[in-house]
Amino acid sequence: MKKERFKGFVKLSLAHHPLCWQFRPHTIHIDGIVLCLGCTGFYSGILIGTLIIIFGSFFQFDWFSLVSIATIFALPTIFRLLKIPLFVSAKKSLRFLFRWLLGIGVSIGLISVIRAPNLVIGLVQFVLGFGLYLGIAFNRIRSKDMWTECQNCSHTMSLDCPGFAPFYPRNESREEIKNQYKLNENMTS
């Protein structure tokens, strides 16, 4: 039972969108595994950026150059969040590319923190960068637009949603899951 719950948690963590036709623009499928488009692009960008830094010559750049390069890589995502028309695209490939570039920019930005002229500048840069990351993440999670796909659906984000069914263990009934959800909800209020 716990193993099945863990598998459901892993699936939900990788896709964190319902496996519903309305959310297909937000996910990609790799070898039968559903992944979040934005997170996959972002974290693969961090990985590639880290490899470029390790095997490249980024340690030769001064702090200002590294901050400038990191900012340039982050600009497409920043422009997209600001809803600048050229960068707001429905194409999965462009959205993936923007997140991938952001990941590379973040990895270069982290190296620039290490290369900061002094500890105070490095610490301020880290706090501002981490704060920006958390602000974007929480804004996306709490955004009214996050679940617009669900508003026109008859399930409206309920536990009966067939898009969330693959995340739940097969041997638990929907009623057990609903009751457990209600218990947890009562405990937190």
Measuring CA to CA, which residue among 185, 186, 168 is closest to residue 177? Answer: 168
Whether residue 166 contacts residue 11, with contact meaning beta carbons closer than 8 Å, is answered with yes
Cα(189)–Cα(184) distance, integer angstroms: 9
**Maximum Cα–Cα distance across the chain:** 60
Residue 153 backbone zone (phi > 0: left; psi -120 to 50: alpha; other: beta): beta
Q: What pLDDT was estimated at residue 131?
A: 81
Tokens matching residue 27: 């996910």
Q: What residue type is 174 in one-letter code?
A: R
Q: What pLDDT was estimated at residue 103?
A: 92
pTM of the model: 0.70
Where are any strands of DSSP class E within 41-187?
A: none
pLDDT, averaged per 10 consecutive residues of the chain (189 residues), comes to 62 65 78 81 90 79 88 88 79 88 91 88 87 71 63 67 64 51 47
Using N-to-C axis directions, what is the helix angle for 119-142 and 92-114, rounded to 10°?
Answer: 150
Whether residue 19 contacts residue 34, with contact meaning beta carbons closer than 8 Å, is answered with yes
Q: What pLDDT was estimated at residue 13?
A: 58
Position of tokens 């490899």? Answer: 51
Q: What pLDDT was estimated at residue 181?
A: 45
Position of tokens 């979040």? Answer: 36
Q: What pLDDT was estimated at residue 83?
A: 80
